[in-house]
Amino acid sequence: MTTTSPVPAAADAPAQPAVTVTSRPLPVTAVRLDDPFWSPRVEVVRRRTIPFQRRQIDRVGHLRALAGAPDPGDAPPHVFWDSDVAKWIEAASNSLAVTPDARLERDVDEAVEVLARAQHPDGYLNTYFTAAAPGERFTDLRDAHELYCAGHLIEAGVAHHAATGKTSLLDVVRRYADLIGEVFGPGPGQLRGYDGHEEVELALVKLARATGEDRYLRLASYFVDERGREPYFFDAETARRGTDGWFGEHFSGLDHPGRTREYLQAHAPVREQHEAVGHAVRATYLYSAMADLAADTGDGTLLAACRRLWDHLAATRTYVTGGLGSSRVNEGFTRDFDLPAEDAYAETCAAIGLVMWSQRMLTVDRDRRYADTMERALYNAVLAGLSADGEHFFYDNPLASRGGVQRHEWFEVACCPPNIARLLTSLGGYAFAQGRDELVVHLALGAAVRFETSAGPATVDVSTDAPWGGRTQLRVTDSPGGEFTLSLRVPGWAEGGQLTVDGQRFDVADLLGPDGYVSLTRAWQVGAEVVLDLDVAVRRWWADPRVTGEAQHVAVTRGPLVYAAEEVDNGPSLVDLRLDRSAPARVVQVPGLPDVLGVRLSGGRVEHAGAGLYRTEPPRRVPADLLLVPYYAWANRGAGEMRVWLGDSED
């Protein structure tokens, strides 16, 4: 881990205790995935999704536009295009880090070469402002995603270097980051601005860690600290430009929400923000950067803001699936408890952002609620965004559908497909962390995990039957002989369990720490085993009554999985289904979905008598046997109806 010198907090920020980093995510190369649930899915991403996304990028013309040689049929460059290429490179690099693939490496090298040739002599690199809007660089930061694209390029450069040891892309992005550092800042002649779509901030932290260069950390701090200050930068930018920006050009006559300060999380300096507002992806990327900076600079004021924002988000604006963002209009938040099911936007990228933020909060504030949220979002709101075949994607993720909803091969704004690929190819860093003489298991994930202790490296093999079961086993396969700690999260969904350490059994409740983890310290020998057995039960959930759309409705979970009813299993008119409150549940194989387990429950169906829009005859309820499937698996057997929230039999 690279250490950096402290960067001071804003002068007007209230004093807070310094931040203590308890652990850091393990690198991709330290985790060899071997998991019955996740390994097949990651393999689909490696074998199908990554090559498929490269074909889509080539079909649309991203790299040809970068090279300055578009085909006549290519679409004009989009402001987002560089981020699509960058996320694809990051996903491919993550894959190469653990699975050599000569063909994929050649494809990545080819893309890197195109980027290097397209870079301007001063370090600037952006397809749209080179090919479509030359001479307008850094004039439309509010709308045109210039620094957002730069951030994803920087993340790609860091990942590519970590995977391959090559500096070809890292050198490119360092030159670009150095240019950004010259252009932006509070100094004489600098542009005192920041990006409309947050991303470069967290990318610069990654670059600082990879290179050991403090200037990138200081630049990230500047962008975070400057946000929301007066005079308001985007007003001044609009006045200088004399036009209404990219949104004004492409959404003529519409009052696009991108003009509002809340949409951009720029309504107040970040340390004064109390609610998660605006565009959900932008928000989670900003909060991720704030948590990163809290960790790397020791700034307690940023951590305090993150905790405050997290508490608000978790209490009022998060879907039961871990999805974020209720409105299609602003791709984000509206008001507290506004969580419609059928009209839910819940963008896949927003759920990915929540996973990213959760991981970072665990670094500086270990508490199982962050890992519980990360797990819930990962298994539900994120995984639903990818089809079983790895080549179809959801952009938004409703919690109810009247039919006709299906995943798509690609989008004009294709942020979600490569984003989910880069996340799933880096799962190890979300599941496992390295503390001081400690391995932390945040997520139950089968893998061989290598980490450092004061006495030398150690390796632990982790096996699990999650998410279907509650058993996780750790076996020490390499130990230097000194003391180290094994810390395992006990999820909030577990209703009890036992821990066995080298044959000795304990009740989990007796060993559980206040952070929700069991921590065991000893001089572990090769062959030592820890087994965590948790009770995995079907649970029914009722929403806060202020979530008015779900009144008299119930949702079902089992372990980390949220379940949904589909038309293919239960017939049409799912709105008429009713779930019994206390009937036992049976775990069954889902027809047509190999290796997917559903839940069969007793319930009923409302049958409507008479005809016409309004009837004088009352409906009646008849018994029904209901089959629910994991939410992530819906829409893989047709585009029929789906519902997460079902009628409560007692209402």
Q: Which residues are catalytic?
A: 331, 415
Q: Are 475 and 457 in contact (CB under 8 A)?
A: no
The 8-class DSSP code of residue 579 comes to E
Nearest partner of 376 among 277, 491, 487, judged by Cα: 491
Q: Which residues contact 346 (CB under 8 A, 6 or more apart)?
A: 319, 321, 323, 324, 325, 326, 381, 396, 397, 398, 399
Bridge partners, 578 (sequence order): 604, 647
Percentages of the chain per state (helix, strand, coil), in multiples of 5: 40, 20, 40
Q: Which residues contact 478 (CB under 8 A, 6 or more apart)?
A: 450, 457, 458, 459, 526
Q: What is the arrangement of strands in the sheet containing 23-25, beginning at the earlier edge strand?
A: 23-25, 432-435, 438-441, 484-489, 517-522
- Please provide the DSSP assignment of 228-276 as one string: TPSSPHHHHHHHHH-S-HHHHHHSTTS--GGGSTTTTT-SS-GGG--S-
Cβ burial, residue 196 (10 Å; 0-12/13-18/19+): buried
- What's the rounded Cα separation, in Å, for the pair 87 and 124? 19
Q: How far apart are the first and last CA of the chain?
A: 56
C-alpha 624, offset from chain centre: 37
Q: Are 612 and 605 in contact (CB under 8 A)?
A: no
Omega within 30 of 0 (cis) for the link into 467 = yes
Give the Å distances, CA to CA, from 281 to 12, 346, 648. 28, 10, 33
Distance in angstroms (rounded) separating the CA atoms of residues 460 and 34? 12
Q: Say if CB 489 and CB 371 are below 8 A apart.
A: yes
Burial class (CB in 10 A: 0-12, 13-18, 19+), 412: exposed
Count the alpha carbons within 13 Å of 12 in the hemisphere toward its beta carbon: 7
User: Within a 10 A sphere around the Cβ of 99, how many other Cβ atoms?
Assistant: 15
CA atoms of 354 and 346, how far apart (whole Å): 11
Residue 378 gets which letter from DSSP?
I
C-alpha to C-alpha distance for 564 and 72, rounded to whole angstroms: 46
Cα distances from 293 to residues 129, 181, 241, 539, 592, in angstroms, run: 30, 17, 32, 38, 46
Distance CA 498, CA 481 (A): 27
Tell me how many helices (H) and strands (E) the chain has: 20, 22
Instruction: Report whether 92 contacts 53 (CB < 8 A).
Output: no
Q: Cβ contacts of residue 28 below 8 Å, gap of 6+?
A: 94, 97, 98, 162, 163, 425, 426, 428, 429
Give the single-character DSSP code of 407.
Answer: -
